[in-house]
């Protein structure tokens, strides 16, 4: 299933014979020399496709762009035709179907000299408790951010145990920053990481507002930002060539949840209760849109202030709406309290929630009410994979705790970054390139991670159902959830076509 | 029979007239100068450029520079000279005082006056955030577009005003540009379209993508093309807008959208825009410098640099038709264009690898009858 989605969604091949064979000789020389000097442990990381990417990005002048074909998706985010916006109308322009290039001079920047003592990689996230207007008052995501930090730290420690940065035999070092301080703290911290501390790539963040601030800075500073914990769909909908994400987003999870709610269970009167923050506001957008486009618009949507304990104002109105199902989008703590209060009020509707409710905190607070709750989830933690078993064992040994979804995705994201740094060398643009032009899904512990044209994770997402005292993870196939039709049509080229300013058509 | 003959004759005559009709073409900049670290710039990555009489202020990733057009000499300032932070993303000049205002990328706001740098940041002033993307002088006020809202500093009273979602229609607070003109202040806001502040009434107005969707533009010319706005530049009675998803023009009543697929725009990824008039605007794309030179006829000129040597070319297009291709021994410094300023007949182009000076000898606005240049694109690999 995952492979099918990947093959359907992504067309990627090298542009052999294309116009830009400009630097093949220089590249070949650079690569040949590079390959000879490579330590064997580094050679082992470079598969033939990556070697070809390296051949085409090495040795470029500041004025050249690599001769590599860009990813093209036939349909944005595998969106079924009946969930498409304005589905009856062909839009004038469709975005995110073709990969954004980096056309700047960065590939020609030489590597730093031998004085380098470590290879720094930034990590930005909600690590320390603060009060921030940006995230809606007192910070609340540290429990997620610390797990993200631990997952990333484990990856760095493992690479250092293998010899660190293979080319110079120096360690990787994590440059950890808090993102939830004063207004826009994440922006200032990216500046620190990109310019003052000279990090080579950055991993983070979780909060949607902080993420957007951070990636705007990363774009100007030209440094890769790998996101492992922000499921806001708009995070990737920004056309930034430096931004990537290795976790399924709320669009993908929302589609699956709504396929279950609307197509399988045939619920038609749906109510939403959500956190009054960016996570809640943007998380339910696809739920709302899908419901409306399937002719069952959400009956009522109520928001609550973060940290609330009494939801009677919202739930009394929702009770009057005679709903078939209730969907919650917010943190686990509030989710459990909402559920408990619903049941106390005699509201026995099926309760659906976003992935943050899949947590021990939710189960502890909800108690028996947790039974039957269904959440979207970006991966299947029960899948059988020796890599996952090994990661879990190592995490338990290192932190004396179970890794959660934030730890697992951060582990994957940091491994992707370190792999890219190892094979590309210390050049931010090339670090970006080897990830952006990767031809095969990344073999992560969470799942195989296939990038779409937007460099977003288009892998399969799941539903987590709390049954018999535990969370169980179900694929679409497991639960026999119908899927909307996804037409495999070439949307990139169905428009009037683009003109290359360097190679325009003949003049009239 | 006779009628058919007359119609045929008239048709042939009109065809002859059409063929004889002279070609109206835009001005093409063919004289360029390039400036890099080899010429004295502190860094080649240029984020901002501002012409100020004989001086041209240049904001780089590693310091401030000033080019004296008369002598060609470049002077620069770094942190050791008192510049509060090395990365300069925006510049404006107060014409009354001559003060140079600098937006610092992660360093706040600075005033360069009388050889001294003054510094405002989020811990000593009302500047809402230190990551400043745009700065604009409006009478005695200094506007700063920051990553967490806009700030306005009254240089006479020392008062600050902050504009965020609390007191303006800023759905998102991630400001990207600020410009003054037409009695208004225009903010380009990432995720919140363009905001217009009317100086006479003190009222805000927002311009959002009418279809409300990130992944599509439903109809052409129905409004702003996308909410991720990177620049808004007023000129005469219109405002030109750039986004990472195409460009557009608004005259107060009508919108006109532009994409690579329907215009001479080199790319839909546009870092900034500078309007020269209601008919001409320069768009800073990642694949060249694209200027719409005659709005009415959708005539464009796109300048690119060759991958080898300093040469370049200009491609003149109307709608999607290439009218003319002009090679030149020196082109723009790099195809990743970040910022512009218009300086009389000249144009300054800030790129990721140097500063370009387009010398507008004989510049004329709009279109003019002139011989079409025979295509003479320099061969690839030609090193001049």
Nearest CA of chain A to the CA of B241: how many Å?
Answer: 17
Reported confidence tier of residue A496, pLDDT bands at 50, 70, 90: very low
pLDDT at B13 over 50: no
Total domains, chain A: 2
pLDDT at A505 over 50: yes
pLDDT at A500 over 80: no
| A167-to-A47, B5, B168, B280 alpha-carbon distances in Å | 17, 83, 52, 51
* Sign of the torsion formed by the C-alpha atoms of A270, A271, A275 and A280: positive
Q: What is the pLDDT of residue A465?
A: 98
pLDDT at B377 over 60: no
Q: What is the pLDDT of residue A140?
A: 72
Instruction: For B107, name the nearest residue in chain A, comparing CA atoms only.
Output: A188
Nearest CA of chain B to the CA of A430: how many Å?
Answer: 17
Reported confidence tier of residue B380, pLDDT bands at 50, 70, 90: very low
Q: What are phi and psi of A294, to 5 degrees?
A: -95, 15
Per-chain mean pLDDT for chain A: 89
Nearest CA of chain A to the CA of B267: how many Å?
Answer: 8
Residues A369 and A398 in one domain: no
Using CB atoms within 10 A of its CB, is residue A472 exposed (0-12), middle (13-18) or buried (19+)?
middle
In chain A, residues with a C-beta closer than 8 Å to the C-beta of B128 are 183-184
Q: Taking a contact as any Cβ pair under 8 Å apart, which residues of chain B between 24 and 43 contact chain A?
A: none
CB contact under 8 A, B304 and A502: yes
Higher pLDDT, B11 or B146: B146
CB contact under 8 A, B131 and A188: yes
Residues A185 and A240 in one domain: yes
Residues A178 and A272 in one domain: no
pLDDT at A138 over 80: no
Nearest CA of chain A to the CA of B6: how many Å?
Answer: 31
Please state, in angstroms and rounded to a whole number, the distance separating the CA atoms of residues B161 and B143. Answer: 9
pLDDT tens by residue, A236-272? 999 999 999 999 999 999 999 999 999 999 999 999 9
Q: What is the pLDDT of residue A493?
A: 56
| Domain-located, residue A58 | no
Please state, in angstroms and rounded to a whole number, the distance separating the CA atoms of residues A41 and A421. Answer: 14
Taking residues A199-220, report their average pLDDT.
92
In chain A, residues with a C-beta closer than 8 Å to the C-beta of B191 are 212, 234
Reported confidence tier of residue B373, pLDDT bands at 50, 70, 90: confident
Identify which of A89, A182, A191 has the shortest CB distance to residue B122.
Answer: A182
Q: Does B382 touch chain A (CB under 8 A)?
A: no
Domains of chain B with CATH codes:
28-300+333-366 (2.130.10.10)
Closest CA to A218 of A124, A96, A78: A124
Which CATH number do you get for residue A202? 3.40.50.2300
> Would you call the peptide bond into B185 cis, given omega within 30 degrees of 0 as the criterion?
no
CB contact under 8 A, A184 and B260: no
Residues A283 and A370 in one domain: yes
CB contact under 8 A, A85 and B216: yes
pLDDT tens by residue, A334-348? 999 999 999 999 999
Taking residues B160-164, report their average pLDDT.
97
pLDDT at B145 over 70: yes
Q: What is the pLDDT of residue A248?
A: 97
In chain B, residues with a C-beta closer than 8 Å to the C-beta of A74 are none
Residues A421 and A369 in one domain: no
Nearest CA of chain A to the CA of B2: how many Å?
Answer: 36
Taking residues B26-46, report their average pLDDT.
98
pLDDT at B8 over 80: no
| Domain-located, residue A186 | yes
| Domain-located, residue A34 | no
* Contacting residues for B67 by C-beta, under 8 A, at least 6 apart: B35, B55, B56, B58, B73, B74, B355
In terms of residue numbers, what domain contains A329? 251-377
Q: What is the pLDDT of residue A136?
A: 56
Taking residues B264-281, report their average pLDDT.
98
Residues A244 and A258 in one domain: no
| Domain-located, residue A50 | no
Cβ contact A134:A180 at 8 Å: yes
Taking residues B293-297, report their average pLDDT.
98
Q: Does A177 touch chain B (CB under 8 A)?
A: no
**pLDDT over 90, % of chain A:** 77
* Contacting residues for A358 by C-beta, under 8 A, at least 6 apart: A332, A375, A377, A405, A464, A471
Taking residues B61-65, report their average pLDDT.
98
């Amino acid at each position: 299933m995952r492979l099918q989605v990947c093959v359907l969604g992504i067309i990627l091949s090298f542009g052999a014979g294309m116009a830009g064979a400009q630097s093949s000789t220089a590249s070949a020389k650079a690569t040949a020399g590079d390959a000879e000097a490579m330590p064997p442990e580094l050679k082992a990381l470079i598969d033939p496709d990556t070697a070809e990417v390296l051949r085409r990005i090495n040795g470029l002048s500041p004025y050249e762009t690599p001769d590599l074909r860009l990813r093209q998706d036939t349909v944005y985010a595998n969106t079924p035709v009946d969930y498409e916006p304005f589905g009856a109308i062909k839009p004038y322009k469709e975005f995110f179907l073709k990969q954004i290039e980096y056309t700047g001079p960065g590939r020609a920047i030489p590597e730093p000299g031998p004085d380098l003592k470590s290879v720094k990689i930034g990590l930005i996230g909600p690590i320390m408790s603060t009060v921030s207007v940006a995230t809606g008052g007192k910070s609340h995501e540290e429990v997620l951010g610390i797990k993200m930090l631990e997952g990333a730290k484990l990856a760095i420690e493992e690479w250092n145990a293998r010899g660190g940065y293979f080319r110079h035999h120096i360690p990787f070092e994590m440059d950890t920053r808090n993102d939830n301080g004063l207004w826009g703290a994440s922006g200032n911290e990216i500046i620190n990481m990109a310019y003052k501390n000279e990090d080579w790539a950055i991993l983070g963040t979780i909060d949607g507002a902080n993420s957007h601030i951070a990636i705007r800075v990363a774009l100007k500073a030209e440094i890769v930002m790998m996101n492992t914990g922000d499921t806001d769909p708009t995070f990737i909908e920004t056309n930034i060539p430096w931004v990537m994400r290795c976790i399924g987003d709320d669009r993908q999870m929302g589609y699956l949840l709504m396929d279950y709610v609307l197509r399988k269970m045939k619920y038609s009167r749906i109510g939403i209760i959500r956190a009054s923050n960016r996570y809640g506001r943007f998380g339910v957008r696809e739920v709302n849109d899908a419901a409306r486009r399937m002719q069952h618009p959400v009956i009522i949507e109520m928001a609550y202030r973060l940290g609330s304990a009494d939801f009677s104002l919202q739930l009394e109105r929702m009770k009057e709406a005679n709903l078939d199902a209730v969907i919650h989008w917010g943190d686990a703590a509030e989710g459990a309290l909402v559920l408990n209060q619903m049941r106390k009020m005699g509201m026995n509707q099926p309760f659906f929630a976003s992935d943050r409710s899949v947590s021990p905190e939710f189960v502890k607070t909800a108690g028996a009410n947790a039974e039957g709750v269904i959440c979207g989830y970006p991966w299947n933690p029960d899948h059988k994979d020796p890599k996952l078993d090994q990661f879990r064992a190592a995490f338990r040994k290192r932190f004396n705790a179970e890794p959660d979804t934030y730890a697992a995705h951060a582990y994957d994201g940091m491994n992707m970054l370190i792999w890219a740094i190892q094979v590309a060398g210390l050049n931010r643009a090339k670090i970006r390139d080897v990830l952006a032009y990767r031809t095969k899904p990344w073999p992560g512990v969470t799942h195989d991670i296939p990038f779409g044209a937007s460099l977003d994770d288009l892998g399969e997402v799941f539903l987590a159902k709390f049954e018999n005292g535990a969370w169980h993870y179900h694929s679409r196939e497991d639960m026999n959830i119908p899927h909307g039709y996804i037409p495999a049509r070439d949307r990139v080229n169905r428009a009037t076509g683009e003109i290359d300013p360097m190679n325009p058509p003949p003049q009239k | 029979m006779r009628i058919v003959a007359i119609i045929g004759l008239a048709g042939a005559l009109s065809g002859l007239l059409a063929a004889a009709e002279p070609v109206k073409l835009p001005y093409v900049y063919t004289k360029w100068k390039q400036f890099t670290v080899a010429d004295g710039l502190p860094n080649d990555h240029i984020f901002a450029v501002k012409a100020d009489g004989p001086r041209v202020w240049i904001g780089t990733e590693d310091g401030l520079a000033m080019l004296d057009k008369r002598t060609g000499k470049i002077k620069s300032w770094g942190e050791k000279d008192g510049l509060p932070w090395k990365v300069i993303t925006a510049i404006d000049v107060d014409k009354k005082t001559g003060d140079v205002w600098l937006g610092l990328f992660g360093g706040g706001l600075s005033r360069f006056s009388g050889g001294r740098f003054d510094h405002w940041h989020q811990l000593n002033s009302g500047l809402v955030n230190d990551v400043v993307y745009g700065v604009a002088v409006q009478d005695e006020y200094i506007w700063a577009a920051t990553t967490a809202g806009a700030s306005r500093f009254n240089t006479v009273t020392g008062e600050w005003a902050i504009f965020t979602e609390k007191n303006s229609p800023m759905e998102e607070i991630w400001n990207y540009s600020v410009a003054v003109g037409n009695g208004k202040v225009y903010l380009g806001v990432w995720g919140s379209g363009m905001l217009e502040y009317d100086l006479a009434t003190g009222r805000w107005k927002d311009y959002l993508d009418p279809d409300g969707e990130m992944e599509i533009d439903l109809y052409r010319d129905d409004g702003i093309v996308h909410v991720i706005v990177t620049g808004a530049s007023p000129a005469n009675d219109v405002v030109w807008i750039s986004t990472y998803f195409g460009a557009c023009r608004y005259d107060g009543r009508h919108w006109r959208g532009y994409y690579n697929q329907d215009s001479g725009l080199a790319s839909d990824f546009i870092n900034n825009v500078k309007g020269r008039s209601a008919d001409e605007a320069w768009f800073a794309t990642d694949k060249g410098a694209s200027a719409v030179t005659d709005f009415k006829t959708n005539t464009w000129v796109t300048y690119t640099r060759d991958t080898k040597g300093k040469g370049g070319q200009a491609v003149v297009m109307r709608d999607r038709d290439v009218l003319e291709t002009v090679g030149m021994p020196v082109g723009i410094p790099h195809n990743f264009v970040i910022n512009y300023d218009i300086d009389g007949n000249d144009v300054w182009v800030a790129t990721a690898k140097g500063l370009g000076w387009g010398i507008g000898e004989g510049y004329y606005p709009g279109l003019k009858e002139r011989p079409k240049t025979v295509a003479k694109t320099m061969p690839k690999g030609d090193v001049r």
